[in-house]
């Protein structure tokens, strides 16, 4: 049997989330008689991603489909390609099978990808086309068919078991360490075999119009080692400069509570929590954030949580490893200046 991991990438770089999905897949493989791990890369002009994937230890095969149709990860087209692979109707695969004069047998036990916006878009379609359930947002692997996943905004953890023949899974990438990626040049003899798959017909009912991407010199919120988030306590957009100065000192990403986003202090792509981003940094600093359950749902994977709040009864202190009851307008400049003085 084999486990299929659908890679997340931007046609140039393999996203770190996929490396975490590979860790989850490798854990399943140990329960599943050492299954092979196959990485599927669907994109356009994405040879750089294939080259990066060659640096992943433990892969048995890289499958690739490179065509303009796949440039923008439209869910319907990804789903039909994955299903053609799993059901053995993909023309390229058929040719390989015909050459071997052996009937095709679907040998994928699991189809896995990260619980990102893109993964959450195509994975349910794949499950529906295969007529199996989807298992969402797993945070731990208990066996080949038993997983843990958060429910009720992270307030309870459900243990789920699936009896489907193919398990379609999204993985909360912050819950698994990424597999190491070897970026040094690789010996040709150690290259993972690459199989090209045939392009499927365009679904035709969705089309890519445009993308508006935020450009930032800061680390990406979901993968940053340090995150500093501000809440309504910052009072206005201008005061977020206090967080920016501290973030510059700590090479941190800046996040925010929903109240800060709704009040227009910062853009909504900075929102952390149940309806925002899930973060799992080494250090999370919550500034002027009360600690509503919907916010906590996004930060429980953080290794160390520090809270700065002037209200000693704020619920954020219940989950914080270190708490400072103080006025943020006194503390933040002091903190930043102390770090600058150490440079
Ligand atoms: C369905 C649903 C989904 C939601 N999803 C999310 C989500 O994804 N993320 C999220 O964050 N919220 C989410 N919320 C909103 C959530 O319930 C809270 O309303 C929100 O998190 C509150 O944000 P806050 O802590 O910034 O504001 P507040 O609750 O108003 O807290 C502000 C805090 O700042 C402190 N403060 C004020 N001034 C200072 C000062 N000078 N110095 C120090 N401290 C100070 C106060 O003591 C207070 O604790 C969701 C709500 C619902 C219903």
pLDDT tens track of the chain, all 343 residues? 899 999 999 999 999 999 999 999 999 999 987 789 999 999 999 999 999 999 998 999 999 999 999 999 999 999 999 999 998 877 776 566 556 555 445 589 999 999 999 999 999 999 999 999 999 999 999 999 999 999 987 889 999 999 999 999 999 998 999 999 887 755 665 689 998 998 999 999 999 999 888 788 899 898 899 999 999 999 999 999 999 999 999 999 999 999 999 999 999 999 999 999 999 999 999 999 999 999 999 999 899 999 999 999 999 999 999 999 999 999 999 999 999 998 7
Determine the pLDDT at residue 221: 92
Mutate to test the pocket of ligand 1, among 295, 299, 315, 320 (most ligand atoms within 8 A of CB): 295
Is the Cβ atom of 328 under 6 angstroms away from ligand 1?
Answer: yes
**What are the DSSP calls for 116-176, one per residue?**
SHHHHHHHHHHHHHHT--EEEEE-EESSSSEEEEEETTTTEEEEEE---SSEEEEE-GGGS
Distance in Å, CA 230 to ligand 1 centroid: 9
Report d(CA 176, CA 219) in Å as an integer: 19
- Ligand 1 pocket residue status of 72, Cβ below 6 Å: no
pLDDT at residue 101, as a whole number:
53
Sheet with 36-43, strands from edge to edge, namely 134-138, 167-171, 108-114, 2-6, 36-43, 61-66, 194-196
Q: What is the pLDDT of residue 96?
A: 62
Q: Which residue's CA is the closest to the ligand 1 atom numbered 27?
A: 232
DSSP 3-state of 321: coil
329 lines ligand 1 (CB under 6 A): yes
Picking from 41, 21, 32, 17, the residue whose alpha carbon sits closest to that of residue 169 is: 21
Give me ligand 1 centre to Cα 318, in Å. Answer: 15
C-alpha 258 – ligand 1 centre gap (Å): 7
Length of the chain, in residues: 343
**Minimal CA–CA distance to 14: which of 35, 39, 32?**
39
Would the CB of 314 count as within 6 Å of ligand 1? yes
Confirm if 328 and 310 have CB atoms less than 8 A apart. Answer: yes
pLDDT at residue 78, as a whole number: 97
Q: For ligand 1, is residue 271 a contact (CB within 6 Å)? A: yes
Pocket test of ligand 1: the residue of 290, 293, 297 to mutate, having most ligand atoms within 8 Å of its CB, is 290
| Torsion angles phi and psi, residue 234, rounded to 5 | -75, -15
């Amino acid at each position: 049997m084999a486990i299929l991991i659908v890679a997340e990438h931007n046609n140039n770089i393999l996203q770190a989330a996929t490396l975490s999905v590979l860790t989850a897949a490798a854990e399943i493989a140990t329960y599943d008689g050492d299954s092979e791990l196959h990485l599927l890369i669907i994109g356009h002009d994405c040879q750089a991603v294939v080259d990066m994937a060659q640096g992943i230890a433990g892969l048995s095969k890289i499958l690739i489909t490179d065509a303009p149709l796949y440039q923008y990860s439209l869910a319907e087209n990804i789903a039909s390609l994955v299903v053609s692979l799993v059901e053995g109707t993909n023309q390229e695969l058929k040719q390989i099978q015909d050459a071997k004069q052996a009937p095709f047998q679907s040998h994928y036990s699991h189809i896995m990808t990260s619980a990102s916006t893109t993964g959450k878009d195509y994975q349910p379609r794949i499950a529906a086309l295969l007529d199996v359930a989807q298992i969402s947002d797993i945070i731990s692997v208990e066996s080949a068919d038993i997983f843990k996943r958060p429910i009720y905004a992270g307030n309870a953890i459900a243990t789920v078991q699936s009896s489907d023949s193919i398990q379609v899974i999204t993985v909360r990438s912050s819950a698994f360490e990424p597999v190491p990626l070897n970026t040094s040049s690789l010996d040709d003899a150690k290259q993972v075999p690459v199989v090209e798959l045939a392009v499927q017909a365009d679904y035709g009912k969705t089309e890519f119009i445009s993308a508006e991407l935020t450009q930032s010199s800061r680390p990406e919120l979901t993968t940053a080692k340090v995150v500093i988030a501000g809440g309504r306590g910052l009072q206005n957009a201008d005061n977020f400069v206090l967080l920016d100065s501290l973030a510059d000192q700590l090479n941190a990403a800046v996040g925010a509570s929903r109240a800060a986003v709704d009040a227009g202090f910062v853009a909504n792509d900075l929102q952390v929590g149940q309806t925002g981003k899930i973060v799992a940094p080494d250090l999370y600093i919550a500034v002027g954030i009360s600690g509503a359950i919907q916010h906590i749902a996004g930060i429980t994977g953080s290794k160390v949580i520090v809270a700065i709040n002037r209200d000693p009864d704020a619920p954020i202190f219940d989950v914080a490893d270190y708490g400072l009851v103080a006025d943020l307008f006194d503390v933040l400049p002091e903190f930043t200046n102390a770090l600058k003085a150490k440079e």
